[in-house]
Copies of this chain bind each other. A is one copy, B any other.
Amino acid sequence: MTTKKKKPSKETAESMAARQREISVSEFFLKNRHLLGFDSLRKALLTTVKEAVDNAMDACEEAGILPEISVDIQQTDDKRFRINVTDNGPGIVRNQIPKIFAKLLYGSKFHRLRMSRGQQGIGISAAGMYGQLTTGSATHILSTTKGRVTAHDMQVQIDTKTNKPVILRDQQAEWQPVFYPAGDPPPEPVTYPHGTSVSIEMEAAYVRGRLSVDEYLKQCAIVNPHLQLHYRIQLLEKGEGKALDAGAEGVPVVSAPWFTFFRAIRELPAPPVEIKPHPHGVELGLLMKMLKDSPSRTLRGALSEDFSRISSKTALEICERAELDPKSKPARVAHQESEALFKAIQGTKLMRPQTDCLSPIGEEQMIAGLKKEVTADFYTAVTRKPAVYRGNPFLVEVALAYARPGVNEELGAEDPVRVLRIANRVPLLYMAGGCVITKAISKVNWKAYGLSQPRGGLPVGPMLITAHMASVWVPFTSESKEAIAHYAEIEKELTFALQECGRHLSVFLSRRHKAAEMERKRNYIELYIPHLALGLKDILDLSDQQEAQVQSELKSMLERSRLEV
């Protein structure tokens, strides 16, 4: 080995200065790809499908289009897959395609306060970057907008040193995503009049089970009943991977038909409204920045126009309380009197943030979604009123399904309850242990509601809990958006919703318990009354008819007393 080792020399301030460098956000996430959900082959597949489907759903809903999405996964080599997701959304204009698909931290959802699935402007570009890293390939996009005949056909990669897109292909092509859903007789093929189709090849692995793409799509369909979803995964025949490696032609696949999750309703969720920041969630430093950047000419104007829940009248009150001239320039206040203003705002009672920026699933629909997919004896749901964490409106919904032991074999009586965690209608599969939802469930005292529960753990029983957090900004514990961070306000709301569901459960379980108890007593009565009657017959020398009468009278008497007890 001739590898030269750099001897660690003693550094000085000057030698250290020479090594300081800027780090591009792409380089950062390339090295930290696990933060984006690319830390295992299996998860890479899921993350990519998730990001593409989330984007497709958001685009359709914003454009007022009932979403219809196709997910087509094809194994191309032993550890390689091509993932294609096509939607019937509004399409993307040509000059935005490279940045949307090949630049991290670029998007339309970050800078607004409004509930949506995507929020960071990272996901789909990260998937492309991972494909590029592991296979050297480019992200392939086909997109056409309403009224266009051809589609933009582009291939893009990220220049990770600069976090800028590199365009490898830019042409016009036919738009023809046609799908043949399964059925007998086969239904009409599906064509999308417009939309976007994104295709990425990457190192990945497909494993069935609770952390699989299958499970993700199924949960997606549960919490998005307006979504029509076609899904197909084509795997190489076992052992054929190697042959392909050697350059065999043709792709022998296990033939796989399309599977469709049909939509249950034809209505889009109420479109959430964009809001301004609520003053009580704005820190001093942010207030200073907002005043400095305000387009308003007066402090009073800035307060009433840049924030929600401050009327012009309230703005005046705040100025008076802070002893500031309502006509002063916002930027001047920012530098000199912001602290007084900040305290005046904190000390002013304001309405809670408006909540039409949120679009809950709703109690009925949560139960309906569960009933469709989870066999059980008892369902209940609670949608809480909106609350606020760090100035961000959010709300929490919880539903649960309880099955008597044996009714649903997926819900074992001796197993911890199953938990579906949902954030802004997106199912979360990984990182359950780090999620505030898991924490909140574990901290509720389920013994009070009739379930057993190991100390500090999930309750045990044949039950499934769905918990949904909807917010203008979901505080995920990492960029891969797998778990919700531990904000006390969020945990509190979850706890209240869980407790309320728990009380409903408790009523059901104690009724069931009482019914079982009654059944047991009834059995005793029916067992012993004939003997009693026979005894009386012997003692009192009754006729058969009298015996039957005594038996019937005894029965109704004991029945009465049982009901009274």
Report which A residues bind B (CB closer than 8 A).
Answer: 1-3, 5-8, 10-14, 16-17, 19-25, 27-28, 31-32, 34-35, 39-40, 59, 62-64, 90-93, 95-96, 99-100, 103, 105-108, 110-112, 120-121, 131-136, 145-146, 160, 203, 271-276, 283-286, 288-289, 304, 308-312, 338-339, 351, 354, 356, 431, 433-434, 454, 457, 473, 475-479, 483, 485-488
Contacts and interface: CB of A to CB of B under 8 A. Distances in A.
Q: Rank and list the top 5 A-B pairs by shortest CB-CB distance, nearest first.
A: A434-B434, A133-B285, A8-B271, A10-B64, A19-B108
- Chain A, interface SS category: loop
A135 B285 contact: yes
Contacts of A285: 131-136
Contacts of A111: 21, 23, 27
Oligomer copy total: 2
A120 B455 CA distance: 38
Given A135-B284, A136-B284, A473 B31 contact: yes
B11 A90 contact: yes
B93 A14 contact: yes
22 contacts: A1-B311, A5-B354, A6-B274, A8-B273, A12-B63, A12-B146, A13-B90, A13-B145, A13-B146, A16-B59, A23-B106, A27-B110, A32-B120, A34-B475, A35-B477, A35-B479, A39-B485, A133-B285, A134-B284, A454-B454, A457-B457, A478-B478
A21 B110 contact: yes
Given A2-B304, A2-B312, 4 more contacts: A3-B276, A13-B93, A19-B112, A133-B286
A34 to B, nearest CB: 5
B107 A20 contact: yes
A43 B188 CA distance: 58
A23 B105 contact: yes
B283 A63 contact: no
A30 to B, nearest CB: 8
Contacts of A310: 3
Contact of A31 (B110, B338, B485): B110
